[in-house]
């Protein structure tokens, strides 16, 4: 049920691959809250055509864009302003991919071409997106940008591999660009550090199922779902959170502040 929290707002949503995607749930919730938006993803990710279903449901145009291509991003922002009839109020960056993780390379045996790709797709793409918007003056005053992160940016999770570095970069870009865009146009930029979630990107990480269970047992509220992440994102796109910027916001049921939980301790008791 919607509350018109985003009524009249125009957005761009990156990363809805299938109905499990965090971006997919966010698009559904933004639609329910009265927003209009463009859906985008890498052209290769659209070949299964699932995004058409979401576009129909949310009455959204689709503009393909590889988030590592400055030409694609420029065309995306220009096309979005044209299709939506004005500047943009919110952007969701829900993009992640590591060729090293995909090919199960050990952290001590990384391929550096892949590593560059990981950083470009999963980290620098946020800077590319923001710089494109900045130069085109494509965002309205008080616009809100959210990118999705993971706690491996702060703590080591061995199978998260080079995505940990990408997430540190992503969070740092949110802070640095948050300063410049905040000064220029009051644009706010935050990252949400989400619980492990059953999606295509998530399941690529080694031992993901046990990882999800462990995080669930460690979190007093349990793992946050993709739908709850979408709800949190809607609140950050809304006018109710106008002074939140340059933050990494944990959305993890309390996981990040727990040292040990009784549920996990019990597993070691004889």
Binding site for ligand NAD (CB under 6 A): 14-15, 17, 21-23, 41-42, 45, 66-68, 94-97, 121, 148-150, 194, 196-197, 199-202
CA distance 151 to 255: 9
- CB nearer to ligand NAD: pick between 88 and 97: 97
Q: Are 237 and 143 in contact (CB under 8 A)?
A: no
Q: Are 195 and 223 in contact (CB under 8 A)?
A: yes
The strand ranges marked E within 182-247 are: 188-194
Minimum CB–partner distance for residue 31 and ligand NAD (Å): 17
Element (H, E) at 166: helix 163-185
Minimum CB–partner distance for residue 186 and ligand NAD (Å): 25
Collapse the DSSP code of 98 into the 3-class scheme (helix H, G, I; strand E, B; otherwise coil) and give the result: coil
- CB nearer to ligand NAD: pick between 138 and 148: 148
Residue appearing with tokens 């590591």: 98
- CB nearer to ligand NAD: pick between 138 and 205: 205
* DSSP summary character for residue 242: T
- CB nearer to ligand NAD: pick between 96 and 178: 96
- Tokens for 242, please give them: 């106008």
Helices 70-84, 125-136: crossing angle, 10 deg rounding: 50
- CB nearer to ligand NAD: pick between 14 and 181: 14
């Amino acid at each position: 049920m919607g509350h018109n929290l985003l009524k009249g707002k125009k957005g761009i949503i990156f990363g809805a691959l299938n109905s499990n995607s965090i971006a997919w749930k966010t698009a559904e919730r933004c639609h329910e809250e009265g927003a209009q938006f463009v859906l985008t993803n890498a052209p290769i990710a659209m070949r299964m055509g699932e995004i058409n279903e979401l576009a129909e449901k949310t009455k959204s145009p689709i503009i393909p864009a590889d988030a590592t291509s400055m030409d694609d991003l420029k065309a995306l922002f220009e096309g979005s302003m044209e299709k939506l009839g004005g500047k943009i109020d919110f952007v969701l960056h829900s993009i992640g991919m590591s060729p090293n993780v995909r090919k199960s390379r050990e952290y001590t045996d990384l391929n550096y071409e892949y590593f560059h790709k990981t950083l470009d797709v999963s980290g620098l793409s946020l800077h590319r997106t923001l710089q494109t918007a900045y130069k085109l003056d494509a965002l309205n005053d008080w616009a809100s940008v959210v990118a999705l992160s993971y706690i491996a940016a702060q703590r080591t999770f061995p199978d998260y591999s080079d995505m940990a570095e990408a997430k540190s970069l992503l969070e740092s870009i949110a802070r640095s660009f948050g300063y410049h865009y905040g000064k220029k146009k009051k644009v706010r930029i935050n990252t949400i550090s989400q619980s492990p979630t059953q999606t295509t990107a998530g399941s690529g990480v080694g031992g993901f199922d046990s990882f999800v269970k462990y995080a669930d047992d460690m979190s007093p509220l349990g793992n946050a779902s993709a739908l709850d992440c979408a709800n949190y994102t809607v609140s950050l796109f809304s006018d109710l959170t106008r002074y939140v910027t340059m933050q990494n916001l944990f959305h993890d049921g309390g996981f990040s502040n727990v040292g040990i939980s009784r549920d996990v301790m019990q597993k070691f008791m004889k």
